[in-house]
A and B are shown apart, each in its own frame.
Chain A
Amino acid sequence: MKSNELEVLTGKDFSSDQDVRWCPGCGDYTILKQVQNVMPELGIPKENIVFVAGIGCSSRFPYYMNTYGMHTIHGRAPAIASGLKISRPDLSVWMITGDGDSLSIGGNHLIHVLRRNVDINILLFNNEIYGLTKGQYSPTSKEGTKTKSTPYGSLDHPFNPLSLALGADSGFVARAMDRDPKHLNTVLHRAASHKGTSFVEIYQNCIVFNDGAFDLYTDKVSRPESALYLEQGQPLIFGADSSKGVRLDGMRPEIVDLNNGYSAEDLWIHDEHDHMKAYILSRFFAVGNEDGFPRPFGVLFEQNRPPYEELVREQMAYALKKNGAPDLEALLSGDETWVVG
């Protein structure tokens, strides 16, 4: 094999020699598996991939990837990954984080990486709980959640991560779940191929402290009625027998019955490039889908704007053109000098 040819790798090659230490049955395992599966399909040399994580159960992730990796400090992964990617645009940078890590202690960094649009793939494992610290409510826990730190129920109103990302002008916003690995696989591919920050929220079951938080969407029986799989250019259809659709009445969405007077032509056609509509989709967020709207999965929004690190390089090239080759001697002497002796 010539050294400049890409070795043919498999998911196994991306598995490090470290024992994986999540609780048996944790949703993190399936996500790890899918990420390891996707890696060899990207055509990127293993040594050019870096996984960066904060703190939390999910943030142990880099230790299990046989790539370069950084396990950092709580909440700061977006800033660390930004510095890495901006200084090394040649690398494929992945950031693994949880709901506490990126929406609580690291909330500030998250919104700023999204607005800057550094080309990082962010996978937010949302389990609506603090797992590593053994079960306190998180910024995505539903109101009234009873945990060790909220014995009478939490009073906090939770974040809607996708609305937040859209509000921060994220250029790629998607949702997936641990229990649908095939779909997760496609979303990961989409995130990888997007230039600019990709934000993927992954519903992840914490079997120990918040088991079943997403059963409504992950359970094979309830899923068809509660989950809406988005596909570009396709009408929004869901339901066990694909009998329900979402229609737009002006800017107001409504659920219609396809067996009762409505056809696919009447429905909202998914357009990933429509920011307004993506925002409406992100608002399908009622606890237990009480408002009747299904929870969307897939790519809600994609928009191409230049990644930050490219703009940085352009500016450096401009500075070089404007100032000419760096001249240390001239810099040391400055404009005004005098001689003594």
Chain B
Amino acid sequence: MSVKEASKKTATIRFAGDSGDGMQLTGSQFTNTTALAGNDLSTLPDFPAEIRAPAGTVAGVSGFQIHFGSKPIHAPGDMCDVLVVMNAAALKANIKHLKSGGVIIANVDGFGKKDLNLAKYGPEADPLGEVSTQGYTVVPVDVTKMTRESLAESGLTFKEIDRSKNMFVLGIVYWLYSRSLEPTINFLRTKFAKNPQVAEANVKALEDGYTFGAATQIFTERYSVGPAKIEPGRYRNITGNEAAVIGLTAAAKMSGIPMFLGSYPITPASDILHGLARMKHFNIITYQAEDEIAAITSAIGAAFGGSLGVTSSSGPGIALKTEAIALATIYELPLVIINVQRAGPSTGMPTKTEQADLLQAVYGRAGECPVVVVAPKSPADCFDSIYEACKIATEFMIPVMFLSDGYIANGAEPWKYPTPDQLAPINVAYAKPRSNDDEAFKPYTRNENLVRPWAIPGTKGLEHRIGGIEKEHETGNISYDPDNHHFMVQMRENKRNKVAEMLPLIEMEEGETSGDVLVVGWGSTFGSIKEAVSELVEEGHSVSQIHIRHLAPFPKNLGEVLRSFKTVLIPEINSGQLIKLIRDQYFVDAIGYNKVRGVPFAVEELKATIKGYLSTNGVQS
């Protein structure tokens, strides 16, 4: 029997196993190889909810999904074509992610009595047999045995050999998708440079897995996915949190001022603290504070001293920072507040994603307290968005909230990274010293953008006091004058709204500038909406997409764009928050599509929803 070679436009693979099986590494290796092969791609790690759940249990399953193709890819794929499972628990937890008729590559050694028991299958159960009767193609491989045979001569112990099981499986999948082994071999030899024995064992397991796929005829079909039409340039792979770290570092370098990150560990934001802690040579101080409040207030103290203050957290931590955000707002000091949103309320589901902190970001403080809010749309976009947040914060002396979420923070995509000379300048100037003959310094005078001077300690003649108490216009002295308070409340609002002048106008992401349905998104739903809308446009429907990065203030032309469509549909992973802002500001009778399940939207569900609002059935091409 010969193997059929099939060419595919897109494919989705999910690797799943116990936390100890190295599935994240396997997935990221497949990702790198796929990127090097020229595919467009999007990935999503699926971490176990519990820390160190018992090995072999469903709670301990770790997964990694990659969606790649020869066409543009914006989301990690609803359902997978191939599911790799290292044990029974992995099958149990992930079978729901497999397309009907999909392929399961199963490590049969992970389906013993003990494994079935841990995965809470009945003692007589035969889950693999069962799923094969449901139309799935099961490819059983005794990975443990094969890897041990492959590495019998390696001189390693069984325990050490078993750590290479994931490479054997990766080899099989590489064969299945006609991938080169080269990038992973190079990776292994670099990673284990200090331990060549382990490096070569892993390389051999990988190669033998590949050969096993070719020689044993366990598959009837083999696939290839051609390169995508991607904008020419130099690319790298990046997760959202990594991109945020690089964006902050770039902003520190380009602004020429020190950066101070005050942070307190919290899922899923901690990687930003970890990443920035390695950037000390860029004149960046990272400070793990005693709590969320100290994290932000230390950054405010540093901002008074002339640093760009940054604090990173997730929703519950942001709630604790609220009073300090108001302080930075009335001080008018530059501060970037990072909220990597997670499912709430309270502790909620820390490893799951949600977009439910938008109203908190825009309104969630005592008093009239306007800040700027920006939200990245994808992992790579975290770079641009946070760089812009730093630019706005320093150039406008204002707190800026950066609203990422767990999905883009951990998801990865190829990034056409810029060179330093392509980055916008960040113009920071501290106020100049004064002599005794100059008139007294007034810390709350303003320039044409309503921005006050940044007068930092150590500058002669600018000694001044700032406080959380309402301040008199220009002098900054304490003032309880009713008219002054009204004036200052408006001033802070007007200044925040002035930021819109430097922001780009909103542009169509997909479709025409008017028509039946406009799908409006923000944040991490971008990829799913983009795939759904682009497919509908291709099918000939009158549907368009815009995606809002600047949520406060909104882009100046937003109202005009919204009013050009019969129906405005706003999908959000919350109970309807952007829709409240839009209805409030533009009187547009928008329709919400809201699911709060801790997971991204599936492209198919969005397509179905949008179709419900189309006046035509489109022109099938």
CB within 8 Å of B: which residues of A?
16, 18, 45-52, 55, 62-63, 65-73, 76, 78-88, 90-91, 108-109, 112, 312, 315-316, 319-320, 322-326, 328-329, 331-334, 336-341
Contact = CB atoms under 8 A, between A and B. Distances in A.
A337 B458 contact: no
Contacts of B457: 47-50, 68, 84, 88, 91
Given A320-B281, A332-B419, A87 B307 contact: yes
Contact of B301 (A82, A90, A315): A82
A79 B38 contact: no
Contacts of A51: 465
B249 A46 contact: no
Given A86-B287, A91-B458, A331-B279, 8 more contacts: A47-B457, A79-B294, A83-B309, A109-B293, A331-B282, A332-B420, A338-B235, A340-B235
Contacts of B279: 331
A307 to B, nearest CB: 14
Nearest to B40: A340
Nearest to A111: B290
Contacts of A324: 281
Contacts of B238: 334
A87 B257 CA distance: 11
Contacts of A85: 301
A62 B476 CA distance: 14
B302 to A, nearest CB: 4
Contacts of A55: 468
B236 interface: yes
B447 to A, nearest CB: 22
A72 to B, nearest CB: 7
Contact of A72 (B233, B297, B463): B297
B348 interface: no
A102 to B, nearest CB: 13
B417 interface: yes
Given A71-B465, A112-B294, A63 B301 contact: no
Nearest to B326: A73
A84 B324 CA distance: 15
A79 B463 contact: no
Interface string B62-81: 00000000000000000000
B257 to A, nearest CB: 10
B262 A83 contact: yes
Given A70-B466, A79-B289, A84 B304 contact: yes
Q: Which 6 A-B pairs have the closest CB atoms?
A: A341-B232, A71-B467, A83-B301, A83-B298, A69-B465, A79-B294
Contacts of B230: 340-341
A208 B96 CA distance: 70
Max chain B C-beta neighbours (<10 A), residue from A63, A108, A320, A336: A336
Interface in B311-336: 323-324, 327
A325 B235 CA distance: 24
Nearest to B478: A63
A79 B327 contact: no
Interface residues of B, number: 69
Given A332-B246, A336-B236, A66 B32 contact: no
B280 interface: yes
B194 interface: no
Contacts of A68: 304, 457, 462-465
Nearest to B262: A83
A86 B298 contact: yes
A52 B234 contact: no
Contacts of B461: 47
Given A71-B468, A328-B250, A83 B458 contact: no
B307 A331 contact: no
Contact of B478 (A18, A323, A334): A18
A179 to B, nearest CB: 27
B92 to A, nearest CB: 34
A71 B236 CA distance: 46
Contact of A340 (B233, B249, B327, B464): B233
Contacts of B460: 45, 47
Contacts of A323: 281
A16 B441 CA distance: 13
B277 to A, nearest CB: 10
Given A72-B327, A326-B253, A341-B231, A80 B465 contact: no
B290 A108 contact: yes
A84 B466 CA distance: 14
A133 to B, nearest CB: 15
Given A63-B467, A76-B293, A76-B324, A83 B281 contact: no
Nearest to B309: A83
B302 A83 contact: yes
B180 interface: no
Contacts of A45: 460
Interface string B278-308: 0111110101011101100111111111110
B458 A338 contact: no
Contacts of A336: 32, 236-237
Contact of B469 (A71, A80, A83, A340): A71
Nearest to B468: A73
B457 to A, nearest CB: 4
10 contacts: A16-B465, A47-B459, A55-B468, A79-B294, A82-B294, A83-B299, A88-B306, A112-B289, A332-B419, A338-B234
Contacts of A66: 463
B35 interface: yes
A325 B309 CA distance: 23
Contacts of B253: 326, 328
